[in-house]
Amino acid sequence: MRITTLQGAAAAPYLDDLARLRIGVFRDFPYLYEGDLGYERDYVATYAAAPGSIIVLAQDGDTVVGASTALPLCEETDEFQAPFLNGPWNPQRIFYFGESVLLPAYRGQGLGVRFFEAREAHARQAGGFDICCFSAVQRPQDHPARPRNYVPLDAFWHKRGYVHHPELHTTFRWRDVGDDRATAKPMSFWLKDLHA
């Protein structure tokens, strides 16, 4: 296994791999995302081009089996900045973690921890950031697609030092598996003090 951090043009050769990985992993609960390769490639390219961004790859040989992204919150879309604009938070000092996606066969081997460590280290090295955050979709407990053995990642995130802030929330639109149109999904935020 190899972990690589990429910025800017260095990510270009991996954009299709990352797009396919996102589509595959996010198809499962809780995201249930009906992905589109063109949209996903453009999305990942936006992350690669954003000032101060980072993409962390996990590779088994030459195969990309996991990835994680992050960028300054001020480079994110309005949907993800909005919850921080009318409160005590300074969006200019927050580093936003996009996603961590990992093929099922590679989970439980510490790669998720390494994704968080790499992104936090990047935010500290960049300087000027006090908080790291990410958002997660909020699905109801009785959602019909929720697997019986589903275990949310809350305990893992708490162990990494992140605190759930349900008062910080937004919505983001995507098409669920089997749906014919995109609908708004509730998202809430988890924060960590980089200096704690």
- Give the pLDDT confidence of 61-81 residue by residue, as tens digits: 999 999 999 999 999 999 999
Placement of tokens 């349900």 in the chain: 166
Average of per-residue pLDDT across 153-161? 97
Task: Identify whether the C-beta of residue 123 lies closer than 8 Å to the C-beta of residue 92.
Answer: no
Average of per-residue pLDDT across 19-37? 95
The amino acid occupying position 39 is: Y
The amino acid occupying position 36 is: D
pLDDT of residue 109: 95
pLDDT of residue 196 exceeding 90, the answer is no
Q: Render pLDDT for 39-52 as a digit per residue (tens, 0 to 9).
A: 999 989 988 899 99
Tokens of 146: 């929720």
Alpha helix ranges (H) inside the chain: 15-26, 37-49, 78-81, 111-126, 154-159
CA atoms of 93 and 74, how far apart (whole Å): 9
**Phi, psi of 151, rounded to the nearest 5 degrees:** -120, 115
